[in-house]
């Protein structure tokens, strides 16, 4: 942010600024990887699927546990470590490896808009304020609901 804005704490964030805030985008993506707003996706199986010896029948509701998928060492090295740099290079990443907005034909249509909003909000807040959590990370309690929450607050 310092490279883009320097000492300017008041100018609005432009589309050109957003394009230059690559590391800020990585910080947001890494935050969504570790703490996805929607921790799981439910999908209805529309045809029988055979996996090994098992058949999953049409009509079964399947759950994709994004919270755990994003923390699996098969998909993310050192998954419990906050490393925004992992999102600087994504050419070799499978398109369904990081899915905080779902993926495929049922992907969130507002994904790009939401990402722009996140960058603008984070940039504006961080330029004007010092932000600290009132809860240490090791004491953070999460609740799986329709969206991921911290019932005791942040």
CATH code (residue 104): 1.10.630.10
Would 122 be classed as within a structural domain?
yes
Number of domains in the chain: 1
Q: Which residue has the tokens 């009132």?
A: 134
Would 132 be classed as within a structural domain?
yes
57-80 per-position pLDDT tens digit = 999 999 989 999 999 999 999 999
Would 145 be classed as within a structural domain?
yes
Contacts of 38 (CB under 8 A, 6+ apart): 66, 100, 102, 146, 147, 148
* pLDDT grade for 38, boundaries at 50, 70 and 90: confident
Residue 52 structural domain: 2-149
pLDDT at 150: 82
How far apart, in whole angstroms, are the C-alpha atoms of residue 14 and residue 30? 23
Which DSSP state fits 48? -
Would 86 be classed as within a structural domain?
yes
Q: What is the mean pLDDT of residues 15-20?
A: 92
The H or E element spanning position 29 is: helix 22-34
Annotated binding residues, as ranges?
108
- What percentage of the chain reaches a pLDDT higher than 90? 53
pTM: 0.84
Would 35 be classed as within a structural domain?
yes
In 3D space, the residue among 64, 38, 34, 60 whose CA is nearest the CA of residue 47 turns out to be 60
How far apart, in whole angstroms, are the C-alpha atoms of residue 60 and residue 46? 8
Would 82 be classed as within a structural domain?
yes
Phi-psi region of 149 (alpha: psi -120 to 50; beta: other; left: phi over 0): beta
Would 154 be classed as within a structural domain?
no
Is it the case that residue 11 has pLDDT exceeding 90? no
Would 28 be classed as within a structural domain?
yes
Annotated binding residues for heme, as ranges?
108
């Amino acid at each position: 942010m310092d490279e883009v804005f320097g000492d300017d704490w008041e100018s609005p964030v432009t589309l050109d600024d957003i394009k230059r805030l690559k590391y800020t985008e990585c910080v947001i993506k890494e935050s969504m990887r570790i703490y996805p707003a929607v921790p799981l996706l439910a999908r209805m199986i529309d045809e029988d699927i055979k996996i090994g010896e098992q058949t999953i029948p049409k009509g079964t509701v399947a759950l994709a546990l994004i919270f755990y998928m994003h923390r699996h060492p098969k998909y993310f090295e050192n998954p419990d470590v906050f490393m925004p740099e992992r999102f600087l290079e994504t050419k070799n990443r499978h398109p369904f490896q990081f899915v905080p907005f779902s993926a495929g034909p049922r992907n969130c249509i507002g994904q790009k808009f939401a990402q722009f909003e996140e960058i603008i909000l984070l940039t504006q807040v961080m330029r004007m304020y010092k932000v600290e959590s009132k809860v240490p990370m090791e004491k953070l309690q999460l609740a799986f609901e329709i969206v991921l929450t911290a019932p005791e607050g942040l």
